[in-house]
Structure 1
């Protein structure tokens, strides 16, 4: 799921060198997560610094397999991470940004017509059906067929403010998994 990340790491390294006091964990969480969402029109996501860099990466299997369905999403996000169905659907809406590259993930394409804008178009595109040139993975399609996920897709397609609020909350939860107490009084 993180294939090709080395390209982004190489591009970001010169920026990271300007902020040696920040851990890599905080740098990537802040820059890749929070700033990317905000500068592309998304909600403000709180950020709490203080993450420690780890000498080894986490074990494989912590990210979902894009070829799987709702049971798998719940296994990864709910059972392993303690997130709710609402969090799963809201975080899936993050696919409004970016695209897949076949050489990195095995999949090709963007989920939305404008993958540089953070909005609720991921959900409106899902509801409008498959379109030439737009990506819908099995993990996306299951949001339409699962009886708990579908009402959230409908809600977020109709109400961008609700999506933004739930996304910001879910993003914060995800970003603080395994992270001790946040630094008091910051951000």
Structure 2
């Protein structure tokens, strides 16, 4: 078992960022305090999966740590026919030895476990104490809205409408407005 931390350039961000087999991401921009690369801090959105923001040419990309590790160490293709699975089911353990590429079907069936039985695209946002509906389009997390706990069906409907209309995505604000409008129309016609 490899106990040494190994760093690889992130595809598309060569010379800017690297990811390690331990699940850490660092910026190669030299800090004002020294010559060592800076380890990026992470954020967590849905179900505790840590993510980072990568910047290049003033454009920000949001990406999950486990996807970066799998991309560089396991050959994972974002948007491909495989997804990244945490073997020990701990979303904070992003070491390459804990990740595997599996089919979407396998991952979904395995996923009906501890972290809450929410429909696909819906999760509980601890800080807001609300449900959060979101999806990924071209590797970018698209936030669809917050919902009260008793609005789980509405949150799920937003996700389903978004998936059905993903080709109409231009930007987050426009897409949320479109989904809101389509949801309202579907409820008025029912």
Q: Give the alignment's TM-score, normalised by structure 1.
A: 0.29
- By relative contact order (CA 8 Å, sep 6+), the higher-ranking structure is 1
